[in-house]
Amino acid sequence: MAIKERGRIRKKRMSYHLNITSMMDMFTIILVFLLKMYSAEGSVLTNADNLILPNSISKKKPKEVNLQLAVTTDMILVDNQPVVPTDDARRIPQEDPDPSIIKLEEKLRSFYAQEEEMVKMGALNQVMGKVIIQVDKNIEFDVLFKIMNTCGKVGYNNMNFAVMERES
């Protein structure tokens, strides 16, 4: 484009400016998308210390963790907080018709009450009763049975077990 100015022709300089507003919008959308994907696929379970999970061929990953219960060789933990020594669960007689661990039951009841309160406030639709149990692979079945019985007695009937995926 040329402009005639007093007998001389002067070329108009074209200047291009970079509009970074749309570029920033695009990067913001990409960042939000990546953060959502990372949080959806990221690690949802934290392993307790001194815990060796059993191997499995299962490839199913937990979708949502409401409550974690970990059983190590020396301690039973709820949400990574020590509740009762594992030896206390071993001491409960096998002949007991309803074997439950009292301290664990009290702790689980408080968490269940919190879920019920969240339902009343509208934060949850219903009490899920979900618990993910991480059990050391060297724990006896008697201890596991007592823990499962205690969870069921409180209302945590939807139990899932954390395992390590076997390398193929």
Tens of pLDDT, residue by residue over 135-164, are: 988 899 999 999 999 999 999 998 888 888
The confidence score (pLDDT) of residue 50 equals: 73
* Residue 2, pLDDT above cutoff 60: no
> Residues 57-75: what's their mean pLDDT?
82
Tokens of 20: 């970074």
* Residue 42, pLDDT above cutoff 50: no
Query: What confidence category does residue 4 fall into, taking pLDDT thresholds of 50, 70 and 90?
Result: low
Query: What confidence category does residue 55 fall into, taking pLDDT thresholds of 50, 70 and 90?
Result: confident
Angle formed at CA 77 by CA 75 and CA 103, multiple of 5 degrees: 85
Report the Cα 143 to chain-centroid distance in Å: 24
Separation in Å, CA 35 to CA 42, 64, 119: 10, 17, 28
> Residues 118-138: what's their mean pLDDT?
86
Better-predicted residue by pLDDT, 47 or 141: 141
Which residues, 6+ apart, have CB-to-CB distance to 74 below 8 Å? 50, 85, 86, 87
Which residues, 6+ apart, have CB-to-CB distance to 32 below 8 Å? none
Report d(CA 149, CA 127) in Å as an integer.
Answer: 19
The model carries a pTM of: 0.68
The confidence score (pLDDT) of residue 78 equals: 92
